[in-house]
Structure 1
């Protein structure tokens, strides 16, 4: 927030929480869930957005209903005859698929069907509202519409949402059922976001508690339960975590927590690419492609030869 806007907002919350911490908590939650405008700001962002839209111009487009809101999907290589790999891609907070076009088109170039998901309040989905529960339901809606995914790839908030989904943290939402996962610059838990947000608004303990209580009301789980660093241990499927130690938005400690959850998690450092450039960095794209191809290599190695030498007869 701009300094003046933040000062006014803090003043408003100071007045409201002095009267009703519960109302202050509810107002804070609505503000927390309000997404940035989809229109890019700044010349660099506008150029990147326009380039991404151009690269995705040939994709099919779909709208998915999600609890009174909607998600938007770009589908590449859809509708072809025969079985092909199917990948789901999710984006970070305040982003959208236009900014992930390099990753999306790289995946499509492998011949896979790619489902690139704009969460509610982002990209071409419309609206200005999103929380983790809605994101997980959007992932479930994409799988229900397009079928099971062979792999899921998410950046930042989108990666965390994929892990929350795969961990079946929301009991009333079907978990995503991919064989492999890629998390790029993704947080491993959510408590720090709410703590920093409450500190920014200068919420008092009662209002902060009211804010965090709404998470349980909306999702059925306490805020502290959204700890993907712990639940990742039960995933059991191969997970590639890519992070930059110079990431200024999501601490590299989140990647280390994922890596500590078990041998099925592989940590790869992409230092020098920060939080956003990491999505289109060529070394990162190459590593993702190689990781997704490993399953095919393993299957090829396990193929039993069709022709075998006949068993030698025992001598009489």
Structure 2
């Protein structure tokens, strides 16, 4: 392994986490949290409790370099729908316990949360969080429905963005992809080309047409992999804007309210409002 490739692997395992705004820091300080021990890692889980015995569990998963407060609007929406909501820091992202942890290592967090809190009915995942959810599903993480916001369609797609971000030569994509895919205990087609071939869950896919981080064409690739999916392309927003977009809230509300009955595969292109 050459030195630049080794350096890239190291940098990709140590993301630069977006700083919290003052309002987000205050929200975090006021929220109940629990610590998840996951192998050598520790990370906080933000919890919005619901003491109704029949309340279902929902998971919010932020993207690489993000934090749980970025999904505050989705959390509010899930609470309004009667969910018990869990929002963890990805491993290595909690400012209290910084550590090096690459993308494949994140599946262990979801499996540890399932073991502690029981099954999750719904997952809302942003960006790399969607890919992490798909990989964890193949390792035993179960749920009934998942909303994917600006998710990359595959490991190579996410790594291509990372190479551009680090201004690294494109010829490193193949060796990087090979390295990360070897870290997943999964079949080769799942690791690379078709990680979203879910066995059972309903899928909502939302992507901004102005996304400059993860190409909106990835949404179509995920839609093609998922037998029971809806696709919403939003014309006037990008990678982070989708988290608070009015169309995101509307589509997510309808998706969470829908019954678990079979439905036709939908393909909706949402215009500017």
Distance in 1 separating the partners of 2:226 and 2:91: 32
| 1:92 lines up with 2:56 in the alignment | no
Q: 2:85 aligns with which of 114, 121, 144?
A: 114
Pairwise mapping of residues 171-250 of structure 1 onto structure 2 (< 5 A)?
174-195=139-160, 197=162, 200-202=167-169, 211-220=176-185, 225-227=190-192, 230-250=194-214
- 1:254 deviation in Å? 0.6
Distance in 2 separating the partners of 1:256 and 1:163: 16
Please name the residue that 2:266 is paired with: none
- 1:224 deviation in Å? 6.6
- Who wins on radius of gyration, i.e. which is larger? 1
Please name the residue that 2:232 is paired with: 268
- 1:143 deviation in Å? 1.1
Report if the CA contact (8 A) 1:55-1:101 is conserved. Answer: no
> Could you tell which deviates more after superposition, 156-165 or 121-130?
121-130
The 4+ residue runs of structure 1 with deviation greater than 4 A are: 195-199, 208-213, 221-225
Gaps of at least 5 residues in structure 2 are 263-273
Please name the residue that 1:278 is paired with: 242
Q: 1:68 aligns with which of 40, 47, 66?
A: 40
Q: 1:135 aligns with which of 106, 116, 134?
A: 106
- 1:253 deviation in Å? 0.9
Gaps of at least 5 residues in structure 1 are 1-20, 41-45, 169-173, 300-316
- 1:54 deviation in Å? 3.3
More helix by share: 1
Report if the CA contact (8 A) 2:130-2:149 is conserved. Answer: yes
- 1:178 deviation in Å? 0.5
- 1:120 deviation in Å? 1.4
Distance in 1 separating the partners of 2:70 and 2:198: 31
How many pairs are equivalent? 260
Report if the CA contact (8 A) 1:152-1:180 is conserved. Answer: yes
- 1:214 deviation in Å? 3.3
What's the RMSD between the two structures over aligned residues?
A: 2.7
| 1:33 lines up with 2:5 in the alignment | no
C-alpha distance 101-204 of structure 1, shift in aligned 2 (>3 A): closer
TM-score (norm 1): 0.73
Please name the residue that 2:265 is paired with: none
C-alpha distance 89-66 of structure 1, shift in aligned 2 (>3 A): same
Report if the CA contact (8 A) 1:140-1:175 is conserved. Answer: yes
Distance in 1 separating the partners of 2:239 and 2:13: 21
- 1:109 deviation in Å? 2.3
Distance in 2 separating the partners of 1:273 and 1:197: 21
TM-score (norm 2): 0.83
More strand by share: 2
